[in-house]
Amino acid sequence: MKDVYILGIESSCDETSVSIVKNGTEEIATVIASQIDIHKDFGGVVPEIASRQHVKNVTMVLEECMEKANMTMEDIDAIAITYGPGLIGSLLIGLETAKTLSFVHNKPLIPVHHIAGHIYANSLVKEMKFPLLAVVVSGGHTELIEMKKHYDFNKLGGTLDDAIGECYDKVARVIGLEYPGGPKIDKLAKEGKDTYKLPVPLQDDSYNFSFSGLKSAVINLAHNEEQRGNKIRKADLATSFQKVAVESIIIKVRKAIIDKNIKNMILAGGVAANKGLREAMTNLAKELNVDLTIPDMKYCTDNATMIAAAGYYAYLDGRRADMNLNSVSQCELK
């Protein structure tokens, strides 16, 4: 079969990224312009500022990626674009760029759900084997998804309230760490001891998760210590929090593996970069004899490489969009 080169564009939050991927598995070139330094002064992403930055960055990022790949639009077979979920203003900048390229160069436009992108970051590591369990852990999602084949998503369960990444970021803010707090808690967690007692959330018979109770427990704990005039031991709190957050994922993943007789598993989303979770998932996979794939660190948080990889399998699945494609802030993975 002829090689297929997909150009992916991602702009759903605070990263403007363009990438070219060959046959869904081989990264040719990727450029990411991160806005973290701009948003950290505000303690989180400011949507209006993010949209404006995407406008400023997108043409440069596109040109740099084409240069890096030493390719022209003639070499590209299709354009893959994140249409949602995400910040609507941010999504629209990438979408309009993708539509323009598709129209001007007469290339098929492939709509990609952001979470499909996170899942397909794993196809850059090795060929995905089915059926598999996808453990999705990001800033906006915490889901267990069963896949019987490519582009076939069956949601077993998800969070009833906050996503795990959101919880990490809020807890980080409470203990005075800069945005994005997830990686900073992860780093601190290595230095502390598990001394604070926190509740493991939602130990029921479902495949669902809940993180708002854990978040509130940390906020209350910090508040009570402050009222007593005690200083929070930040590293110990990070260690105690991370232990419970990881455990609450592992409990449900273990249940899904056993119930569904899972043999292949992948980890996906920004929180897949978490050292504690990577280690716990690796140990669980060994114990239950499951083949586990985890994306390289650089493909865990938002990037267009994963969108181009997902775009390839969407392309093979016959998925196409036309000029009516619109961005959506919330949408189901299907």
Nearer to ligand KG4, 75 or 236 (CB): 236
10-69 residues in contact with ligand KG4 (CB under 6 A) are: 13
273 interface partner picked from Zn ion, ligand KG4, none, CB below 5 to 8 A per type: ligand KG4
Per-residue binding string, ligand KG4, 175-194, x by CB under 6 A, is -----xxxx--x--------
3-state helix, strand, coil in the chain (%, to 5): 45, 20, 35
Contact (CB, 8 A) for 262 and 285: no
Site mask for Zn ion (CB under 5 A), range 119-158, x = bound: -------------------x--------------------
Residue nearest to ligand KG4 (CB): 270
CA–CA separation, 151 vs 143, rounded Å?
A: 16
Shortest CB 2 distance to Zn ion, Å: 31
Residue closest to Zn ion, measured at CB: 302
CA within 13 Å, CB half, 19 = 34
- Could you check whether the bond before residue 85 is cis, i.e. omega within 30 degrees of 0? yes
Please choose which of ligand KG4, Zn ion, none residue 274 contacts, taking the beta carbon within 5 to 8 angstroms, the exact cut-off set by kind: ligand KG4
Tokens at 31, concatenated: 């450029």
Q: Which residues, 258 to 317, sit near ligand KG4 by CB under 6 A?
A: 269-271, 273-274, 301-302
- Rank residues 101 and 271 by Cβ distance to ligand KG4 and give the closer one: 271
Cα distances (angstroms) measured from residue 135 to each of 98, 116, 176, 197, 307: 29, 12, 29, 26, 18
The closest of 164, 193, 173 to 40, measured between CA atoms, is: 173
Query: Whole-number minimum distance, CB 230 to ligand KG4, in Å?
Result: 26
| Cα of 43 vs its chain's centroid, Å | 20
CA 243, 193, 173, 219 dihedral sign is: positive
Q: Give the residue, chosen from 136, 239, 302, 312, that forms a contact with Zn ion under the rule CB under 5 A.
A: 302
Q: What are φ and ψ of residue 96, in 5° steps?
A: -65, -35
Query: Does the protein bind Zn ion through residue 169 (CB under 5 A)?
Result: no
Task: Tell me the window of 161-169, 231-239, 288-296, 304-312 that interacts with ligand KG4 (CB under 6 A).
Answer: 161-169
Q: Which residues contact 179 (CB under 8 A, 6 or more apart)?
A: 36, 39, 40, 42, 43, 44, 45, 169, 172, 173
Applying CB under 6 A, the residues found at the interface with ligand KG4 are 13, 114, 118, 138-140, 165, 168-169, 180-183, 186, 269-271, 273-274, 301-302
